[in-house]
Amino acid sequence: MVRVATSDRFAAGARIGDYRVEYEIAIDATAVVYLATHVVLPRQVHIRVAHPGSRAAAVQLLREACLLESLSHTAIPRVHECGVLADHRPWCAVEVMAGITLKQLAGDGPLALADLVVMLRDIADALRHAHEHGVVQRRLLTSTIVRTQRHRGGFAISDWSDARTLDSDPALDPKDDIYALGAIAFRALTGRPVEPAISVATYCPAAPPELMSLINEMLGESAERPAASEVFERALWLCDTLKVAPLIERPRWTPPQGYVAERVSADSIDPDRSGFAIRISRVRTS
pLDDT value of position 169: 84
Interatomic CA distance for residues 91 and 34, integer angstroms: 11
Every domain of the chain and the residues it spans: 13-95, 99-242
The string of DSSP letters for 30-77 reads: SEEEEEEEESSSS-EEEEEEEPTT-HHHHHHHHHHHHHHHT---TTS-
CATH code assigned to 13-95:
3.30.200.20
- Which one, of 16, 173, 177, 9, lies nearest residue 94 by Cα? 16
Least confident of 150-154, 183-187, 192-196, 262-266: 262-266
pLDDT of residue 2: 62
- What's the pLDDT score for residue 281? 35
Nearest CA to 106 out of 151, 161, 160, 155 is that of 155
DSSP bridge pairs for 145: 157
Pick the CATH number of 99-242 from 3.40.50.2300, 1.10.510.10, 3.40.50.1400, 1.10.10.60: 1.10.510.10
At 247, the pLDDT band (50, 70, 90 cuts) reads low
The pLDDT, as a whole number, for residue 245 is 65
213 φ/ψ angles, rounded to the nearest 5 degrees: -65, -40
Give the global pTM. 0.82
d(CA 47, CA 26): 11
How confident is the model over 94-140, as pLDDT tens digits? 999 989 999 999 887 899 999 999 999 999 999 999 999 999 999 99
Give the Cα separation of 94 and 38 in Å (integer).
Answer: 12
